[in-house]
Amino acid sequence: MTLRFRLNGRDLTVETPAGRRLLDLLREDLGLTGTKEGCGEGECGACTVLVDGKPRLACLTAAIQVEGKDVLTIEGLATAGKLHPLQEAFIATAGVQCGFCTPGLIMAAYALLQENPCPTRDEIRDYLGGNLCRCTGYAQVVEAVERAARELAGR
């Protein structure tokens, strides 16, 4: 099919099978490898992207389901070569170890801050419940989201 959608702020037209996973379309056809495949079954959150502002798992989304929609991936967060405050905060708090879960965590956190700009610690933990990190833990991740929320609120 001819698929038209908006990706990271740019209108895009691609030829793709309707049932191609959004994850494969992004990574293999469009070269956007920031979105990761963890489990491929919706259990780990590594492939979280935003579709029309809502979090969605790219491994359980078919290309045809984003027809006409607005897709945001980790590659779309930085503007004019400057990292997004969430990305800066993950670096500052060392909320990254191997980094594989990080794009998904940041996209889920981005969705959270859109819905709730000043979340409590419990609200952050709750919202990120679908994103697994197998290296270390979540303390610095939660701290990063709190830090980014403060930074964004101060603007």
Partner 1 sequence: MRRTGPVEIVRPRDLGEALREVAAGGRPLAGGTDLFVRVRKGTDASPFLVDIGGIADLQGVRETETGVEIGAAATHAQILAHPATERLPVLRLALQTIGSPALRAMGTLGGNLVNASPAGDGLVPLYLLEARVNVIGPGGETSYPVAEFILGPGKTALRPGELVRSITVPWPPDGARAYFRKVGRRRALLIAVASLGALLWLDGETICEARLALGSVAPTVLRPRAVEQALVGQPLAVEALAGLREALSSAVQPISDLRASAGYRRQVAGNLLLDLVSLRSV
Binding site for partner 1 (CB under 8 A): 17-21, 40-43, 45, 48, 54-57, 59-65, 67, 108, 111-112, 126-127, 129-131
For residues 28 and 82, which CB has a smaller minimum distance to partner 1 in the complex? 28
Contact status, residue 46 vs residue 60, Cβ threshold 8 Å:
no
* Ramachandran quadrant class, 95 (left: phi over 0; alpha: psi -120 to 50; beta: rest): alpha
For residues 34 and 40, which CB has a smaller minimum distance to partner 1 in the complex? 40
Contact status, residue 46 vs residue 10, Cβ threshold 8 Å:
no
Q: How far is the CB of 64 from partner 1 (least distance, A)?
A: 5
Q: How far is the CB of 43 from partner 1 (least distance, A)?
A: 6
Q: Whole-angstrom distance between the N-terminal and C-terminal Cα of the chain?
A: 43
* Ramachandran quadrant class, 80 (left: phi over 0; alpha: psi -120 to 50; beta: rest): left
Q: How far is the CB of 10 from partner 1 (least distance, A)?
A: 23
* Ramachandran quadrant class, 113 (left: phi over 0; alpha: psi -120 to 50; beta: rest): alpha
For residues 60 and 92, which CB has a smaller minimum distance to partner 1 in the complex? 60
Q: How far is the CB of 154 from partner 1 (least distance, A)?
A: 25
For residues 34 and 92, which CB has a smaller minimum distance to partner 1 in the complex? 34
